[in-house]
Structure 1
């Protein structure tokens, strides 16, 4: 990477770490020192801070890494050049996750994916099963939204030809609707401090974020995951909030039914982000799963 984005040096915190993988300078935080890696993948428009309440307890028996996914947080936002494949496609993002695991010094990881982070976790398990020891899918977007969206080819061609105009329009829409959209992820609004949403917004809108997000939008394809899910062999826990409005609980039930031997946990009184809204309950569910499936290697 030629240059380090200014926002990485300006906004990095004392425990911030950076690693270069597949053209990205990835921002991450690491906790614990166990022999098993737990890798946390947050949802769209957010950052690794989505895991702030659960990282410490989950790191007690493992090495835990939370990272800012592409177009989020302090991770760099490279723009594709020429006809090179987009680094923002679902395939490219899942390849990046697999390479991140080895770059961190591990052969496998337990992937914990929230929302579209769950989509990428599933893609990684399908494309790189040797890298995935277990899956925890939290309101994973598999049968709707990101995983099923695709711009018709003629429209896609027009949008690519008129990138500056369409990226500007999308930027205006995101700026206007950001707060309202994020608040819908919570069932009880009083659990979401204003400072948290302000931090998410500030760290999302860094560098050429509008152009990078538009490139991600252009790279979005229908993933057709339905028929592929039975191929997942890793032990899987599916978690849904009882009042999830972004990914309906019925979709999570369908996901648990489609993956062999997957377990389903419904967290009551909760929305799309149980790791934020009810972190203690979330940690208990994940720990129970990891213990019952014997996914955490004993420490020396």
Structure 2
């Protein structure tokens, strides 16, 4: 047993589960039962804890699985061993989601993704349409941020050649800015206690998190998702917090207009994380969509 696996086992909750997929030891929690799988994809710098207030009510209607995405929570943080390794690229993450659906014993899933989790959910639907029954995209980064970021090629070569230096610099920057950045995800920041923020931070900063995050940063590419939206034809709900600072509500409105047949839900009095800040309103919106779209019968 390696050091990180020992750490996983020590920090795991009684209901934590693990499975191996695509080079990762994935940490997840599974609630509910039935033939329909709902897979929850949290945003960057967070963990499956982001779904803690909504997973139980969602599990009253289906099998629900929340997992720690790569570089987050108790999922392992393997480091590339060769030049061709791209464990943390967006494409690799979408392939991981498809593999995870299979490993969990299902052919398809309804993907609910928040922020960059929404980016990966949409990309999974594009790359593995046979695996996705429906989408719920919550403040997804499609036209900005993660989905459109890319390090210029000359700079990328320098950063790869000086990995230890740039990894340490990024570690210092994230550590200094983390609290402020997470608080900005919330519209009413007083709803996020200091104790909960410390817990969220501890979930992220585990093991070689800085090296793994740097590999994810190096693998970030402009995904061109906006040019591929018309190829999708599956039930989709786009959710935005009325006061989202991370992904402007206007972007979610645009996405709902450009995705064929998509439905838009604007949740008032919240920011980038409606599942955390307005969980009751979030669950109601999701439940209404799943039933009206026929995804739950």
TM score, norm. by length of structure 2: 0.98
Deviation at 1:2, TM superposition (A): 6.6
Q: How far 1:5 sits from its partner (Å)?
A: 2.3
Q: 1:1-300 maps to which residues of 2 (within 5 A)? A: 5-297=5-297
Matches of 1:234 and 1:102 in 2, distance apart?
A: 20
Q: Secondary structure of 2:294's partner?
A: coil
Aligned partner of residue 60 in structure 1, secondary structure: coil
CA distance in 2, matches of 1:191, 1:68: 23
8 Å contact kept, 2:240–2:266 = yes
Q: Secondary structure of 1:80's match?
A: coil
SS at match of 2:134: strand
1:6 Cα offset (Å): 2.5
- Calculate the TM-score normalised by the size of structure 1: 0.97
SS in 1 for 2:177: helix
Question: Alpha-carbon deviation of 1:199?
Answer: 1.1
Do the aligned residues in 2 keep the contact of 1:5 with 1:207 (CA within 8 Å)?
Answer: no
Unaligned runs of 5+ residues in structure 2 are none
Inter-CA distance 76–236: structure 2 relative to 1 (3 Å threshold): same
Distance 1:90 1:270, change over 3 A: same
Instruction: Give the Cα separation in 1 of the matches to 2:51 and 2:222.
Output: 28
Name segments (4+ residues, structure 1) moved above 6 Å: none
Q: How many residues align?
A: 297
Q: Name whichever of 45-54 and 188-197 sits farther off.
A: 188-197
User: CA–CA distance in 1 between the matches of 2:204 and 2:269?
Assistant: 28
Greater mean deviation of Cα atoms: 256-265 or 2-11: 2-11
How far residue 35 of structure 1 moved from its aligned partner, in angstroms, is 1.0
- Tell me, in whole angstroms, the C-alpha distance in 1 between the residues paired with 2:287 and 2:6: 38
What is the CA distance between 1:10 and its match in structure 2? 1.2
Q: CA RMSD in A?
A: 1.0
Secondary structure, counterpart of 1:27 in structure 2: strand
Tell me if structure 1 keeps the 8 A contact 2:185–2:272: yes
